[in-house]
A and B are shown apart, each in its own frame.
Chain A
């Protein structure tokens, strides 16, 4: 099961809507082993395409390094389908390379309703999983007071 804070869930949908009709993509990082998505990182779709996405290779290196430095991993890898259902395509399955990640698919084909589904993809096999939207802020702390910026997290260097 994917448990995700409502604020992050909304950010994914917002990103997908903003980039429509192109596919939007990104990552939510979280502490290694926590299975908890906490840090929202929208990525550029280097393909800028309605039917394909690929992380920009330089941006990916920067983001992956940053996660490494913060002892984080990609807990969620998301992208949108803009004219088809939120189900992994053959392409999605063949390129999936993070077996521990939750692959989130969002469909923006319907203007008023956004499909939001999550999958595990490992060794070419797709398993859909339930999504639980939590009211807590990312990482399970109580919500921050409105207008109050979240505390700055100082990355711990190994």
Chain B
């Protein structure tokens, strides 16, 4: 078993068009490093330095990882991680 990661349309160029890919790790940080080995450049779109980018939402199962522990959030086999670009903007 592995961890399923669901990829939004705009990042599927990194996954050869795949809607979901699989990876492994014990924390989100490890998982993203693991994914980056197979899908080079993906991590950089999600992480800026040591933190998740502000306008990318990453969910572990149903919860936004910002409310769990960010990159340090523990993950395990059978979990689903979903990536969605935040929908945001405004007059200023």
Contact = CB atoms under 8 A, between A and B. Distances in A.
B8 interface: yes
Contacts of B64: 57-58, 61
B84 A79 contact: no
Given A57-B64, A61-B62, A23 B87 contact: no
Nearest to B64: A57
Interface of B: 8-10, 55, 57, 59, 62-64, 66, 82, 84-92
Main secondary structure on B side of the interface with A? mixed
A62 B66 CA distance: 17
Interface residues of A, number: 34
A82 B91 CA distance: 8
A60 B55 CA distance: 13
Contacts, number: 85
Interface of A: 23, 25, 27, 43, 47, 49-55, 57-58, 60-61, 64, 73, 77, 79, 81-84, 88-89, 91-92, 95-100
Contacts of A49: 90
Contacts of B92: 51-52, 89, 91
A23 B10 contact: no
A25 B9 contact: no
B83 to A, nearest CB: 11
Contacts of A54: 86-88
